[in-house]
Copies of this chain bind each other. A is one copy, B any other.
Amino acid sequence: MASDKRLVLGVAGFGTVGTGLTSILEENRDWIIQRTGREIVVKTVLVRDVNKKRAVKLPEGAELTDDPARLVNDPEIDVLVELMGGIEAPKALILQALNAGKHVVTANKALLAEDGFELFRAAQQNGAGLYYEASVCGGIPIVQTLRESLAGNQMTSLVGILNGTANYILSEMTTNGLDFDTALSQAQELGFAEADPTLDIEGFDAAHKLCLLIRLAFGRDYPFSMLPVQGISGVDRMDIEFAREFGYRLKLLGEVRNVDGRLEAGVFPMLVHHTYLIARVGGAYNAVRMEGNAVGPVFLHGLGAGATPTGSAVLSDIMAVARGCAPNNTGFVEQVPAPADIMPPEEAEACYYFRVMVRDQPGVLRDLAGAMARQDISIAQAVQKGQDPGGVPIVFMTHEAKARNVAAALEDLKGAGLLLAEPVHYRIL
């Protein structure tokens, strides 16, 4: 069934995921042979500086190089494993590898989301596999699930916790009452957040992943540049506590829904009722809940990052190559998806959580409710906290309202001089 020939890898990048992958290849060597019938070996590892001291040892027999050409010109190498990060350099390398008839396994969500179509076309022209299970949600098999296991379903919605760093920070703020800056510093100390955490906490990493998931689930192109994205850097512990009192958790979610044929999508901090499984996803875990017109809801949960969880996803792709799978790169016959019919973000409807800081005086709640009513926004519950003459928070949750109306109501309130501070509002899942 499987060939006895070894499968030879060239690995570009030897950071967290690269070392995770090589450690699994070593530890599970015999197991992988039982599964695929082939030995998988690393021949060449591309790094920036071959002389840098490394704590991790190279795989046996592998050689270091700083010359990308060594990976793509070596006819012995069957698979390029791209774990460099960045956009331009890996793009060039992947294209060369595909055109040289090699299969490619990558974890590069930014590249695929922002500039991936040329790669998929090149893969198709060369009959090569372009695999990227590790690019979304680490060890969770979400790519395979959407591309193959649920392939017969027309999806109606998908929502996920797609970034472990943001989820760790929000979880710490929720569970241990930390403020944002403390939780972020802690995440950095523990290695859950990078020195420059912008991509994670501003939601762009989650947005890259959401772009890829939309393609896999809906077969449509929702350009990364058009996705509404809001991060968590402005989140106040106070809102997490109010949300809790109403039975909700605050989570950074990537969401997409098919609303009468149009896709409504975005990355936002959102309130999730505590009885939902996705509300219970803690720490550095990721999760995705998707719903198909045949299967109903399916929920996947696991570690979204880390050396060996992400390495496990990379390895599953490599093993698919080793088994001689026919490439199914995008999950569709067409390698470049048609443009999505995008619902303009201001038309999106959701229930909302609001917090406004107001003076504790008669008529304030009436004026607030009036501004909402003028925009057809119906208040479901409201609570005023404390009795500080300097200003008190009023928190209220609404029934379904259009984003456009929410924006107008907030403008109204600001114009009326009612608010002592910038108002806060989050969607409710």
Contacts and interface: CB of A to CB of B under 8 A. Distances in A.
This chain's copy number in the assembly: 2
A293 B154 contact: no
Interface stretch (A41-49, A294-302, A345-353, A371-379): A294-302
A37 interface: yes
B152 A34 contact: no
Nearest to A303: B296
Nearest to A36: B333
Contact of A34 (B36, B299, B318, B333): B333
A224 to B, nearest CB: 23
Interface string A137-174: 00111001100111111100000000000000000000
Contacts of A141: 141, 144-145, 149-150, 298
Q: Is the interface of A mostly helix, strand, loop or mixed?
A: mixed
A37 B153 CA distance: 15
A10 interface: no
Interface residues of A, number: 63
Contacts of A33: 333
B326 A312 contact: no
A32 interface: yes
Given A325-B325, A332-B35, A333-B37, A152 B294 contact: no
A315 interface: yes
Contacts of A297: 302-303
Nearest to A138: B295
